[in-house]
Amino acid sequence: MAHILIVEARFYDHLNDLLVAGARGAIEAAGHSCEVLTVPGALELPGAIAMASERGRWDAFVALGVVIRGETYHFEIVANESARGIMALTMDGVAIGNGVLTTEDEAQAIVRADPAQLDKGGAAAKAALALLDLRDRMG
């Protein structure tokens, strides 16, 4: 049984509740356990996962959050840099499912976050488990 750390950028509480529910459901349905760690925003996700991965307590990670386009360039910075940081860790062999939503508006985010609709939290958890399995098979 694997132990997974869900790291959530808790900026939109109601949307994150949906993402976490989907991720937790997928992890538990696969017979694994999980914990949730909260960080302020999407830019903090890669750093928190990097710190946690050094501890050796978790087998894989699920990064969750929501970045909704606003009126400024800040959206691009947050979306791009959080994805870049997560990808860099993944390239270093850390099993991470990226469930950070980047949407134009809240309505798009709800459809993607809701476990009864697109369930991107669950999909990110399944991706983390698939990477963990792949890493384990490669020795």
- Res. 73 pLDDT band, cuts 50 70 90: confident
- Residue ranges of the annotated binding site for 5-amino-6-(D-ribitylamino)uracil are 11, 42-44, 66-68, 98
pLDDT at 139 > cutoff 90: no
| Catalytic residue check, 74 | yes
**Structural domains present in the chain:** 3-138 (3.40.50.960)
Half-sphere exposure of 102 (CA within 13 A, CB side): 13
27 closest CA partner among 53, 57, 1: 1
- Residue ranges of the annotated binding site are 11, 42-44, 66-68, 71-72, 98, 112
**pLDDT tens sequence across 20-57:** 999 999 999 999 999 999 999 999 999 999 999 999 99
pLDDT at residue 34 in the model = 98
- Res. 135 pLDDT band, cuts 50 70 90: very high
